[in-house]
Amino acid sequence: MLEGLDYFFWFLAIVAFVFEVVALVDILRVPEGAFPAADKQTKKLWLILLVVAAVVGLGGATRFLHLLSFLPIAAFIVAAIYLADVKPAVKPYKNKGKGGNSGSGPYGPW
């Protein structure tokens, strides 16, 4: 029974690592000016947090860190906050400047 539970938590660690990588890839595609425009922390801070979260998540997924340690859980929480709060806030600013109407904000021209 304990082996099955270990595999379950290992699976959860892998899923958490995938979420952390998705958040990291997403932040690389957002322009730096989108964060202050959306009234969020700077891109540099979020990038540092998500890189650390991905490294810790990799440690949890490869069983380098204990699966019930608080570090992989904290790393998942950082990625979840980014995906649930910051990503929707900066989404209107993500593709500005690519094609068409590059001089307009979310509610009209600048």
Q: In Å, how far are 5, 42, 68, 83 from 93, measured between CA atoms?
A: 43, 14, 37, 15
**Alpha-carbon Rg for the chain in angstroms:** 17
Distance between CA atoms of residues 50 and 53, nearest Å: 5
- Reported as a single tens digit per residue, the pLDDT across 12-71 is 889 999 999 999 999 999 999 999 999 999 999 999 999 999 999 998 888 887 656 788
User: Pick the residue with more confidence: 106 or 25?
Assistant: 25
What pLDDT sits at residue 101?
52
Give the other-Cβ count within 10 Å of 51's Cβ: 13
Q: What are phi and psi of 91, to 5 degrees?
A: -60, -40
What pLDDT sits at residue 55?
94
Single pTM value for the model? 0.79
What does DSSP assign to residue 91? G
Q: What's the distance, CA 35 to chain centroid? A: 14
